[in-house]
Amino acid sequence: MSKIRVLVVDDSAFMRKVISDLLNQDPSIEVIDRARNGIEGIEKVKQLKPDVVTLDIEMPLMNGLDALQHLMKECPLPVVMLSSLTKEGADATIRALELGAFDFITKPSGSISLDIHKVADDLLEKVKAAAQTKGKQRSIHIPPIKKVAPTTLAKAAAPEQKAPVSKEPPRAMGGRVAKLVAVGTSTGGPKALQTLLTALPASLDAPLVIVQHMPPGFTKSLAQRLDTLCAIRVVEAEDGQWIEPGTAYIAPGGYHFEVHQSGDRLKVHLHQAEPRGGHRPSVDILFESVSGLTNLKKWAIIMTGMGSDGTKGLKQMKEKDQVFSIIEDESSCIVFGMPRAAIQAGLADKVVPLEKIAETLVKLVN
């Protein structure tokens, strides 16, 4: 079996060496070359045609975002970004995922991380997973960060301005939330969420509660970015927040997200119990909390991601109540792990490509 050929792009000679050494320790991976900036990285991709590129975001001459955009247009391939934990780094990482990056790794302590070994296992896992998706990347166009016109489904009732999200009990439907959509996703999820949420109308008669596997510091940037693009409101969930129709609540990185019931109202509950299956937030924990809610119409969506998070929770939802599940089809998944697990467990009521999920959901909910 041939090795996974990796090009490492980073402006720090130290980081290039350390990342290369970490990758080369795995017998299934071979670092074929290194590049000092985005311009050199693009040239070497064209020359060497690696299977995967690791790409630093902050570099001179040409930064990682500009390099990524060139790569996705000219010679698309799986790219794993290396990001800092700053607010600017988080915003840039979300942009990179939209532009077509496979996934990202956070440098533990800044641009030059002497403790990069802390994320070695994560790096190896994501490089191997990225290699399996070679050929799925394609040239894409992503709009700049600005308020854009909602998609066809959303146009009918898109408000000029969104009302602020409040911790006061919602007055919509007499304060009652009668429907709920629970969503789980992981690798490839930010792009999948953008496709799903931008196609939903502001009049959607249900809230969405979402777990996207992401470390702390990145989910807020994701929510803010999506909110600029969507007719519905998109927020990072806050503990104690009342859940309202027409709003999507994304679990903050590092916190499990549960939905609790207070009469006929729903409320966000966040906590930091041990990770489940290596994840915090966990889709299973979100789904299990939703399974205990009563007098509520429920839908569950599982989209692209590694592993099987969400399958156990969906099983519990179906055992306790009537739940209609929509699972992303393999044809549109960046990684088919989570959807495959749910389908193989016999839990899929509808399997559709990503582009059809919103349309399917709107017909069911409204």
Mean pLDDT, residues 171-199 taken together: 86
Q: How distant, in Å, are the alpha carbons of 150, 193, 345 from that of 249?
A: 19, 12, 27
Neighbours of 321 (CB within 10 A): 15
Q: Are 252 and 344 contained in the same domain?
A: yes
Q: Are 293 and 190 contained in the same domain?
A: yes
Q: What are phi and psi of 263, to 5 degrees?
A: 65, -120
Neighbours of 98 (CB within 10 A): 19
Examine the fold and report which residue of 100, 131, 162 is the final residue of a domain before the chain moves on: 131
Question: Under a CB-based contact definition with an 8 Å cutoff, are residues 70 and 42 in contact?
Answer: yes
pLDDT tens for each residue of 328-346:
999 999 999 999 999 999 9
Q: Is the pLDDT score of 10 beyond 90?
A: yes
Residue 237 lies in domain: 152-365
Q: Which of 186, 221, 308, 332 is catalytic?
A: 186
Q: Are 254 and 123 contained in the same domain?
A: no
Q: What are phi and psi of 229, to 5 degrees?
A: -105, -15
pLDDT range class, residue 150, cuts 50, 70, 90? very low
pLDDT tens for each residue of 321-331:
899 999 999 99
Neighbours of 101 (CB within 10 A): 29
Q: How distant, in Å, are the alpha carbons of 95, 144, 202, 223, 270 from that of 237?
A: 21, 25, 18, 9, 8
186 among known catalytic residues: yes
> pLDDT: is 277 or 160 the higher one?
277
Q: Are 187 and 87 contained in the same domain?
A: no
Measured CA to CA, the distance from residue 344 to residue 315 in angstroms comes to 12
**At which residue do the structure tokens 């299934």 appear?**
28
Residue 130 three-state SS = helix
Q: How far, rounded to the nearest angstrom, does the alpha carbon of residue 366 sit from its chain's CA centroid? A: 26
Q: How far, rounded to the nearest angstrom, does the alpha carbon of residue 205 sit from its chain's CA centroid? A: 24
Q: Are 198 and 263 contained in the same domain?
A: yes
pLDDT range class, residue 141, cuts 50, 70, 90? very low
DSSP designation for 132: T
pLDDT tens for each residue of 71-93:
999 999 999 999 877 788 899 99
Q: Is the pLDDT score of 161 beyond 90?
A: no
pLDDT range class, residue 142, cuts 50, 70, 90? very low
Q: Are 179 and 238 contained in the same domain?
A: yes
213 among known catalytic residues: yes
Q: Are 13 and 121 contained in the same domain?
A: yes
pLDDT range class, residue 117, cuts 50, 70, 90? confident
Mean pLDDT, residues 262-284 taken together: 96
pTM above 0.85, yes or no: yes
Q: Which of 56, 213, 284, 291 is catalytic?
A: 213
Number of independent structural domains in the chain: 2
pLDDT tens for each residue of 222-240:
999 999 999 999 999 999 9
Q: Which of 10, 11, 103, 309 is catalytic?
A: 309
Measured CA to CA, the distance from residue 92 to residue 337 in angstroms comes to 26
Q: Are 192 and 275 contained in the same domain?
A: yes
Q: Are 324 and 176 contained in the same domain?
A: yes
Residue 163 burial (10 A CB sphere; 0-12, 13-18, 19+)? exposed
DSSP designation for 279: B
Q: Which spans in the chain are helix H? A: 13-24, 38-48, 64-74, 87-99, 120-131, 152-155, 189-198, 219-229, 283-291, 311-320, 337-344, 354-365
Percent above pLDDT 90 for the chain: 79
Locate 213 and state its tokens: 């596997």
**At which residue do the structure tokens 């109540």 appear?**
321
Q: Does some domain include residue 228?
A: yes
Locate 7 and state its tokens: 């090009």
Q: Does some domain include residue 77?
A: yes
Locate 200 and state its tokens: 């939903």
Examine the fold and report which residue of 80, 100, 131 is the final residue of a domain before the chain moves on: 131
Mean pLDDT, residues 109-126 taken together: 79
Q: Is the pLDDT score of 208 beyond 70?
A: yes
Percent above pLDDT 70 for the chain: 87
Which amino acid appears at position 166 of this protein? S
**At which residue do the structure tokens 């296992």 appear?**
121
Q: Are 115 and 177 contained in the same domain?
A: no
Q: Is the pLDDT score of 107 beyond 80?
A: yes
Annotate 335-363 with b (16+ C-beta within 10 A) or e (fewer): bbbbbbbbbeeebbebbbebebbbeebbe
Q: Does some domain include residue 325?
A: yes
